[in-house]
Structure 1
């Protein structure tokens, strides 16, 4: 009879409390905090500014050399690869 006094409350009170406790902790851990949201906003602003800078640099380079994209895309045409192989041969 004495063990029934402990087992019954443990089943009907303790077990649901443990389950609900961990469900609540799981839900709170899955959400973003205000610090996380602020960090995401800051990173987005930084990415936007960097994108603007790259666009500006591309416009400047395109104004000075309109074929720069084709030269950058084809290292053989620009001779970059040949110079790299020549440097490697000299090192060996």
Structure 2
């Protein structure tokens, strides 16, 4: 009986206290580590922002051309 208690009590303590705390701390650390963007995501975001800047410049150029050729184009197409 004493050998049963000798193995049973530490096992219950481990499964009841140590293991849950260990798992919670492990997954909390993993979550914090993966919270930010990866390098690939940062590069993709930067490329998308650069492309967006180019598209915005082109749109402004087209609007300038339309303003010069058809001054009232905004009024006709704003409805």
TM-score normalised to the size of structure 1? 0.71
For 1:53 and 1:62, how far apart are their aligned partners in 2?
A: 14
What stretches of structure 1 move > 6 A for 4+ residues in a row? none
Residues paired across the two proteins, number: 74
Q: Give the SS at the match of 1:30.
A: coil
Aligned counterpart in structure 2 of residue 52 of structure 1, from 45, 53, 57: 57
Q: Which of 45, 61, 65 matches 2:66?
A: 61
TM-score computed with the length of structure 2 as normaliser: 0.81
The answer to whether 1:28 aligns with 2:33 is yes
Alpha-carbon distance in 1 for matches of 2:78, 2:38: 43
CA shift, 1:15, in A, is 2.1
- In the TM superposition, what whole-angstrom CA distance separates every residue of 1:24-63 from its partner, at most 9, and x where no partner exists? 1211232111111111111111111000000011111111
User: C-alpha distance in 1, partners of 2:20/2:68?
Assistant: 72
Indicate the RMSD between aligned Cα atoms, in angstroms. Answer: 1.5
Mapped pair 1:17 → 2:22: yes
Alpha-carbon distance in 1 for matches of 2:10, 2:30: 29
